[in-house]
Amino acid sequence: MQELRLAVRVYLEDTDAQGVVYNASYFRFMERARTEWLQARGVDHNDLRERFGLIVVLTSIEANFQAPARLGDVLDVKAEVVSTTGARLVFAQSVRRTGGDDSPMDDALLCVTGTAVCACIDAVSGKPRRWPKDFLQELTQ
Amino acid sequence: MQELRLAVRVYLEDTDAQGVVYNASYFRFMERARTEWLQARGVDHNDLRERFGLIVVLTSIEANFQAPARLGDVLDVKAEVVSTTGARLVFAQSVRRTGGDDSPMDDALLCVTGTAVCACIDAVSGKPRRWPKDFLQELTQ
Amino acid sequence: MQELRLAVRVYLEDTDAQGVVYNASYFRFMERARTEWLQARGVDHNDLRERFGLIVVLTSIEANFQAPARLGDVLDVKAEVVSTTGARLVFAQSVRRTGGDDSPMDDALLCVTGTAVCACIDAVSGKPRRWPKDFLQELTQ
Amino acid sequence: MQELRLAVRVYLEDTDAQGVVYNASYFRFMERARTEWLQARGVDHNDLRERFGLIVVLTSIEANFQAPARLGDVLDVKAEVVSTTGARLVFAQSVRRTGGDDSPMDDALLCVTGTAVCACIDAVSGKPRRWPKDFLQELTQ
């Protein structure tokens, strides 16, 4: 279950008047990484709905803010599936501040850690549904 | 065709690292006022889609930024229909900074002026549709 | 330590292509309620910075998504301080879907519950700072 | 004066309950492209403020929405400086929907066209300032 790492530039839209990245922006960044994780496995939200009648929803998330990111920073946003059940995917997530395009990721400063739990629901009824079996296998290989 | 005026508090989410309201936030504020304008006429986006199979979309908008608004400001956001045709509603819009809940609106500082052109499209085909006749009359009384 | 309850209308900006409120929007709503909680005690972010050299930051937050809210809903967003220490304010938060302006709050459907931990930091150094003593008393009376 | 083209993936955060990209999202995309245009010339918002005491602000923008973009689309967002004066940079902008990473840009569907006028202001006084001469030359070579 490989991790997905996404580089995200911090733009004005992501910051607030305290001069740092606004808290809800990190949840947008973490969702981008989860979507890219799916995408990297050949699945996107449109496919899921059209081929399987499924929607992936977030059922819970928690985040710890350890250091602020700032305008112009290049962030390394990670999504890694750490457990699956018939209905749930649990992602460990993090956001690190890198020194820019050239700096080694290893020196990156940890800004945020988080855990996101996603579930599969029926696109019409909204009821929980198991992930299609083959699909879950495919996802977590 | 009465105007709609909506009071909007500026929160952290609306600001950016330049210490002022971020430009795209004003477009969110102006859209809120247009939606409330419809709502004040007994119409909402859900009704339109379910009863008429219609969606209201923005076809063009322009805005002039004259003075910045800041965190904590209470803004007076205006939407006024200035012309209608079979397919379009044209809104004159403005955002003013008031001195807070108690200050007279007349003293408000003009932050943004804008013009938004909305059209009616078919919810399924996405093709332009005329506003339902009675509905347009109702809207613009 | 009275709770703060804020009515929030769901606009297009808050929703996503799954037809419901986007997850990060709830974090914006919860932050609005925390800001209004402070404001109701005569404190705003600008005062804090200018009079005390302090910034309130979010250090952690967790949220459970129980039922979706939708376009046009009027939400009842709650912030209640459940504990304080020298450096931290812990808020219990919730978002409920009401039937609109006229319906009783008691019938409201629970959409989201959350816990937000805020801390005080120095506006210049970014180091943690104790809340000013009188101020914390004032806040939590 | 070369143009800057930025590839932007449409995530859930960018869409709304009408199933398309929300209008204010396009203004965020266009701002990203303007920022990258500056960045490509070795200038970023932080440099400008720290080295020159300058802030770049948007003074007006207009946009025409021609076709909707949707969840999962890869957009080609363009920023090109079409005129400069002592105080202003005028950008022609566009957003096109490409068929994904592999499709030729030439086949891209035009979604939005826009014109953005930016100005230089003093970071402290907020008053208009001329762009530093060498800097403008450098920018527009």
ipTM of the predicted structure?
0.91
* The Cα angle at residue A134 between residues A129 and A140, in degrees rounded to 5: 90
Confidence of residue C26 (pLDDT cuts 50, 70, 90): very high
A116–chain D nearest CA distance, Å: 16
Among candidates B28, B36, B45 on the partner chain, residue whose Cβ is nearest the Cβ of C13: B28
At D26-71, the pLDDT tens digits run 999 999 999 999 999 888 888 888 888 999 999 999 999 999 999 9
Question: Cβ contact (<8 Å) for D28 and A35?
Answer: no
Among candidates A18, A61, A64 on the partner chain, residue whose Cβ is nearest the Cβ of C55: A18
In whole angstroms, what is the distance from residue D35 CA to residue A74 CA? Answer: 13
At D76-100, the pLDDT tens digits run 999 999 998 878 999 999 999 996 5
Largest CA distance in chain C: 48
D3–chain B nearest CA distance, Å: 22
The answer for residues whose C-beta is within 8 angstroms of residue D105's C-beta and 6 or more apart is: D5, D76, D96, D98
Q: Which residue type occupies B135?
A: F
Q: Would you state the pLDDT for residue D117?
A: 97
In whole angstroms, what is the distance from residue D29 CA to residue D7 CA? Answer: 10
Q: Would you state the pLDDT for residue D16?
A: 97
Beta bridge partners of C76: C7, C96
Q: Which residues in chain B are contacts of A24 at CB distance < 8 A?
A: 13
Q: Would you state the pLDDT for residue D140?
A: 66
Average the pLDDT over each of C3-7, D14-18, D52-56 and give the range with the smallest value: D52-56
The pTM of this model reads 0.94
Q: Mutate which of B20, B21, B32, B49 to test chain C, going by most C C-beta atoms within 10 A? A: B32
The answer for residues whose C-beta is within 8 angstroms of residue A3's C-beta and 6 or more apart is: A37, A78, A79, A80
**Higher per-residue confidence, C85 vs C119:** C119
Among candidates C25, C60, C126 on the partner chain, residue whose Cβ is nearest the Cβ of A64: C60
Query: Does the annotation mark B102 as catalytic?
Result: no
Return the closest-CA partner of residue A94 out of A117, A122, A63.
Answer: A63
Number of Cα atoms under 13 Å in the Cβ half of residue D130: 8
Confidence of residue C77 (pLDDT cuts 50, 70, 90): very high
Q: What is the pLDDT along chain B (141 residues), one digit of tens a residue?
A: 689 999 999 999 999 999 999 999 999 999 999 999 999 988 888 888 888 899 999 999 999 999 999 999 999 999 999 998 878 999 999 999 996 555 555 568 999 999 999 999 998 888 989 887 777 676 666
Catalytic pick from D14, D16, D44, D47? D16
Question: Cβ contact (<8 Å) for D17 and C13?
Answer: no
Give the number of B-D residue pairs with CB atoms closer than 8 Å.
53
Q: C: neighbours with 3+ CB pairs under 8 Å?
A: A, B, D
Least CA distance to D17: which residue of chain C?
C19
Does the pLDDT of residue D25 top 70, yes or no? yes
In whole angstroms, what is the distance from residue C13 CA to residue C99 CA? Answer: 20
